[in-house]
Amino acid sequence: MELTKEELLRYNRQIMIPEIGEEGQRKLKNAKVFVAGVGGLGSISSYYLTAAGIGHLTIVDKDKVDYSNLNRQIIHWTSDVGNWKTESGIRKLQNLNPHCSIRAIQAEIREDNCRELIGDCSIIVDAMDNMKTRRILNAASVKNGIPYIYGGVHQLDGLASVFVPGETPCLECVFPRHAAESDTAPPGILGPVPGVIACIQAIEAVKLILGINGLLTGRLLCFCGLDMTFREFKISQNPECPVCRL
């Protein structure tokens, strides 16, 4: 798929980058990315992926916009309160970049529908707020060999990593399930924190598509907003992982 004159103008500042160029921009145009959730993380990651020229984006969410979302979920506005997040999200993304094909699905991600929802997307961006759904996404990632870009936030802190089946540990290796595990009440979140993590997720998605080295594979990046530091921890596969062990 060739780039139109308008697209060449729109993506001019990206095409200038040696690692991207016109060939890389065409790769982005042909890419298909799945964003699970259109909340704090998904608002930002889907927005920047659309702005970057990802040709095909699927966004999935089951909730409606609430006033309590508006401090961080910047794709949703006051006038959207009460509407489905997928409907609010697709309007903004289509207005942002009409060259991108946006598929919005109002649904809960479950074990029995996860693969169908992902369809032929080649990257999963995790923008969820609970471990139950994350584990479902991780299992689908491992089973189908689809890279999974993890992101999580809590108060002024955030985490990010990239899991590539067959090459790196998976989510379960890093955050093993506990017998008594249960999702707790939603945490406090400062609005810009998911912005930081979601931007990192979007950058990693672009790098995956373009084959740019330096991915957050085998590494867990930790952001602390209180002292404005980034710390990195090496992570490795758990040989007894029930999900990805060979």
In the predicted structure, residue 93 carries a pLDDT above the cut 70: yes
**What pLDDT, on a 0 to 100 scale, did the predictor assign at position 145?**
96
**What pLDDT, on a 0 to 100 scale, did the predictor assign at position 1?**
76
**Angle ∠(127,129,131) on CA atoms, nearest 5:** 105
Residue 212: Cβ-neighbour burial (10 angstroms; 0-12, 13-18, 19+): middle
Average pLDDT of the chain is: 95
Domain boundaries along the sequence of the chain? 31-234
Mean pLDDT value of segment 147-172 = 97
Q: What is the pTM of this model?
A: 0.95
Mean pLDDT value of segment 210-232 = 97
CA atoms of 59 and 72, how far apart (whole Å): 18
Query: What does residue 118 show for φ and ψ, rounded to 5 degrees?
Result: -65, -35
Reported in sequence order, the residue ranges of the chain that DSSP labels E, i.e. its strands, are: 32-36, 56-61, 101-106, 123-126, 148-154, 157-163, 219-224, 229-234
**What pLDDT, on a 0 to 100 scale, did the predictor assign at position 180?**
47
CA atoms of 171 and 243, how far apart (whole Å): 9
Per-residue pLDDT of 7-63, as tens digits, reads: 999 999 999 999 999 999 999 999 999 999 999 999 999 999 999 999 999 999 999
Residue 209: Cβ-neighbour burial (10 angstroms; 0-12, 13-18, 19+): buried
Per-residue pLDDT of 169-220, as tens digits, reads: 999 999 998 744 555 677 899 999 999 999 999 999 999 999 999 999 999 9
CATH number of 31-234: 3.40.50.720
